[in-house]
Amino acid sequence: MEESRLEKIIVQGGNRLVGEVGIEGAKNAVLPILAASILTSDGDLELENVPVLSDVHMMNNLLEFLNVKIKFDESKKVEILNATEQLSSEAPFQYVSKMRASIVVFGPLLARLGRARVAMPGGCAIGSRPIDLHLKGLAAMGATINQHDGFIDARTDGLKGANIYLDFPSVGATQNIMMAATLAQGTTIIENVAREPEIVDLANVLNQMGAKVSGAGTERIKVIGVNRLHGVKHTVIQDRIEAGTFMVAAAATNGNVLIKNAIAEHNRPLISKLEEMGVTVQEEAAGIRVIGTKYLKSTNVKTMPHPGFPTDMQPQIAVLQLLAKGESTLTETVFENRFLYLEELRRMNARFKIEGNSAFLTGPTQFQGTQVNATDLRAAAALVLAGLVADGYTEIGQLKYLDRGYYHFHQKLAALGAKIKRIATESSSSLKVQLSVKD
Ligand SMILES: CC(=O)N[C@H]1[C@@H](OP(=O)(O)OP(=O)(O)OC[C@H]2O[C@@H](n3ccc(=O)[nH]c3=O)[C@H](O)[C@@H]2O)O[C@H](CO)[C@@H](O)[C@@H]1O
Ligand SMILES: C=C(OP(=O)(O)O)C(=O)O
């Protein structure tokens, strides 16, 4: 998606969002499930509800490099993967550096081939993001792991079941260890695991593939190893973060939006915060309806592993807190550096101070449109949300981040009544842009 670097979104603030919006399959569910294809030595893995995102393209490119055969019908959102041929064990830097989630091929490669050589992913704009817990778990299962020349090299004569305690309920470590354990000899118990809905979706696919995984969604996962896994058909769960982003968009614009097929159970912490702020949230048969209010109340939010408030909704809820009257606190406990986007919001008139891992936000804010740049994926979404309620025009650059996790974001907002366009950067001389949005 090289083009996205040369594009901008321009929003003219002030419109209420009204109507219905559909949600894609979850990025954070599909990426490890795509990696799980490596475990299938028999038949096709057929996935439905696959979101068309740059991260999915990136994972597909990596899997194809490893010799997984892929057919992705983007119009139907169906992807068929076949990993029955001899696979390569090396994931080079060119893939891993572009997408940290590539690390979830590590456990499957090691389990299937007895060897994995994966470039070290490094940090990103939200934190240093070490992978020590992934490695500790795989080492406990009998892998010999060495790090050199920017690569992690792991070998085993056969993984063995082990008792593993995670110091932190890491999503990626839980997925890597769980996948590796499906083909290990004996039983693996993983404690203090991540409980995100995406972990449950992965466990469900693995079980359909013939694995014996129990306890996903609780703090303890048990995996009884089997000899081989086979292909299956699976529908990826809905993206709770995309759904949450539209819920905040509806609340921020004092709108009335039905987020179709959104699963309330996956978004409890967000629903609870929205209600605290005076927003009406209705669980309907067709999805979740969010009805805004003119009188948003301040509230405090602290991110936590699931079922706590998701860190991936932190920048979006910050916009709503800034709109609310009074002081709100926002505390980030999952990543050490996820407030970069606030400096961009300051340029749009936000008032706040940051102390340690907390931001103290002062509202109500009348955002002012200006030129801002996304600093990461959810920051990109948050800047668009601020633009929806800003005075004048907001231009958001660095859309490569947005495209990692949102499909047709501006089209979906436009269909709800937002004045929003995506344009080539070269055509963004302000007069031209303003005219094109008014059209
Ligand atoms: C593709 C995907 O699903 N990404 C999600 C996944 O990322 P990811 O799987 O990378 O997140 P983790 O849950 O692993 O990371 C959470 C925290 O644990 C730390 N940590 C993690 C592993 C490790 O070995 N050592 C260690 O210290 C990280 O640096 C971070 O501070 O979960 C995050 C937390 O919900 C979400 O924000 C990401 O959207
Ligand atoms: C942080 C995110 O993703 P990743 O772990 O892929 O960087 C996210 O989805 O907000």
Cβ pair 393, 430 in contact under 8 A: yes
**Domain endpoint, select from 175, 207, 235:** 235
Measured in whole angstroms, how far is the alpha carbon of residue 123 from the centre of its chain?
A: 16
Query: Relative to the alpha carbon of 310, which ligand is closest?
Result: 1
44 annotated among ligand-binding-site residues: no
Residue 203 has pLDDT above 50, yes or no: yes
Residue 256 CA, ligand 1 centroid: distance in Å: 33
Residue 4 has pLDDT above 70, yes or no: no
Residue 326 has pLDDT above 60, yes or no: yes
Indicate whether 392 and 422 sit together in one domain.
yes
Residue 323 CA, ligand 2 centroid: distance in Å: 25
The rounded percent of the chain whose pLDDT value lies above 70 is 96
Residue 28 has pLDDT above 90, yes or no: yes
pLDDT, tens digit, 9 for 90 and up, residues 349-407: 999 999 999 999 999 999 999 999 999 999 999 999 999 999 999 999 999 999 999 99
- Distance between CA atoms of residues 159 and 141, nearest Å: 5
Q: Whose CA is nearest to atom 26 of ligand 1?
A: 130
Residue 156 CA, ligand 2 centroid: distance in Å: 30
- Which residues 6+ apart lie within 8 Å of 130 measured at CB? none
Indicate whether 400 and 343 sit together in one domain.
yes
- Distance between CA atoms of residues 191 and 409, nearest Å: 37
Cβ pair 352, 342 in contact under 8 A: yes
28 annotated among ligand-binding-site residues: yes
**Domain endpoint, select from 235, 262, 283:** 235
> pLDDT value at position 46?
98
pLDDT, tens digit, 9 for 90 and up, residues 249-272: 999 999 999 999 999 999 999 999
Indicate whether 302 and 243 sit together in one domain.
yes
Indicate whether 315 and 178 sit together in one domain.
no
Nearest-atom number in ligand 2 for the CA of 126 is: 1
Residue of 30, 309, 377, 401 with the most ligand 2 atoms within 8 Å of its CB, for mutation: 377
pLDDT, tens digit, 9 for 90 and up, residues 75-95: 999 999 999 999 999 999 999
254 annotated among ligand-binding-site residues: no
11 annotated among ligand-binding-site residues: no
Indicate whether 200 and 266 sit together in one domain.
no
- CB of 122 within 6 A of ligand 1: the answer is no
Indicate whether 158 and 200 sit together in one domain.
yes
- CB of 387 within 6 A of ligand 1: the answer is no
Q: Whose CA is nearest to atom 18 of ligand 1?
A: 170
Q: Whose CA is nearest to atom 36 of ligand 1?
A: 312
Residue of 27, 28, 62, 338 with the most ligand 2 atoms within 8 Å of its CB, for mutation: 28
- Which residues 6+ apart lie within 8 Å of 304 measured at CB? 333, 334
**H or E, element range at 113:** helix 106-113
Residue 417 CA, ligand 2 centroid: distance in Å: 28
Cβ pair 262, 236 in contact under 8 A: no
CATH number, domain containing residue 161: 3.65.10.10
- CB of 303 within 6 A of ligand 1: the answer is no
Indicate whether 213 and 332 sit together in one domain.
no
Residue 435 has pLDDT above 50, yes or no: no
**Domain endpoint, select from 209, 235, 261:** 235
Nearest-atom number in ligand 2 for the CA of 405 is: 9
Indicate whether 85 and 148 sit together in one domain.
yes
CB atoms closer than 10 angstroms to residue 364: 12
> pLDDT value at position 432?
46
Q: Whose CA is nearest to atom 8 of ligand 2?
A: 312
Helix 240-252 vs helix 268-276: crossing angle, to nearest 10? 10
- CB of 198 within 6 A of ligand 2: the answer is no
Indicate whether 217 and 335 sit together in one domain.
no
Q: How many domains does the chain have?
A: 2
State whether the Cα torsion 383-388-389-392 is positive or negative: positive
- CB of 123 within 6 A of ligand 1: the answer is no
124 is an active site residue: yes
Identify the domain containing residue 301 by its residue range. Answer: 2-24+238-438
Q: Whose CA is nearest to atom 9 of ligand 2?
A: 312
Indicate whether 17 and 72 sit together in one domain.
no
> pLDDT value at position 431?
43
Indicate whether 106 and 20 sit together in one domain.
no
Residue 113 CA, ligand 1 centroid: distance in Å: 25
Catalytic residue among 120, 124, 414, 437: 124
153 annotated among ligand-binding-site residues: no
Q: Whose CA is nearest to atom 23 of ligand 1?
A: 131
Nearest-atom number in ligand 2 for the CA of 28 is: 9
- Distance between CA atoms of residues 122 and 111, nearest Å: 23
Residue 385 CA, ligand 2 centroid: distance in Å: 18
Residue 170 CA, ligand 1 centroid: distance in Å: 5
Indicate whether 265 and 413 sit together in one domain.
yes
> pLDDT value at position 429?
55
> Whole-structure pTM over 0.95, yes or no?
yes
Mean pLDDT of 52-66: 97
Cβ pair 418, 428 in contact under 8 A: no
Here the tokens at position 399 are 């859309």
Here the tokens at position 58 are 């990136």
Strand, coil or helix: 126: coil
- Distance between CA atoms of residues 200 and 234, nearest Å: 13
pLDDT, tens digit, 9 for 90 and up, residues 124-167: 889 889 999 999 999 999 999 999 989 999 999 999 999 999 99
- CB of 240 within 6 A of ligand 2: the answer is no
Query: Relative to the alpha carbon of 195, which ligand is closest?
Result: 1
